[in-house]
Structure 1
């Protein structure tokens, strides 16, 4: 057997350490776990022991706010990249946002002219100098989009 069960983190509910629709998860090199909880419209952060630490951003549609998060990834500097999609009623944005490990908003990763159409899964490549590549599964466009991301 390759692995063994250790524990459960969170559970169903509306509290800070609970989930309503957890989708994607990413772990940082310093042991934090980032989980996109789509219906709660939050990215929740837990420590390596599964204890709730904080939430990234606040619910909303402005820059630095989070609305319908899907994919989540962590770059070499510990920045957290969050994918969001636009719902059928026009709420939210098809976008990629970057946050510092403490939750402070940094910037938007994608260019609005590139027309993301439901970005979901994210993966960050290993380093090559000061740059990395961010791979985005964009199922609305049936493709994988690749971005070059730079250190801050």
Structure 2
């Protein structure tokens, strides 16, 4: 018998360096990974909003809200691991997926590394959705 060992010393924890937003329509969780949090300078208690281009409905953006505008945004909180920051809204998650014809329960998307500036607002594009499919061997 020849055994291959898997332990803390030889197994690297994967932390994405690409700014990523994970969305789950069942729980309504929107989670920004650490890279996205750093890009947008997000902290616990900050507010954000998502925006959809009505002329191009498959184009979505995220914007950090400040000042008086912050009261109308989704308030962010840290996950227990502090490797991400999140908020919940099931209705928004489902509307976003419906607009993109995503039928899966969970997907990840990249966040553009540079902002689109529109009327002094910094909007970061939500792009390249990757749909998580159920594993065929999940029951085994």
Give the TM-score taking structure 2 as reference length: 0.30
Higher relative contact order (CA 8 A, sep 6+): 2
Larger radius of gyration: 2
Higher helix residue share: 2
Higher strand residue share: 1
Give the TM-score taking structure 1 as reference length: 0.28
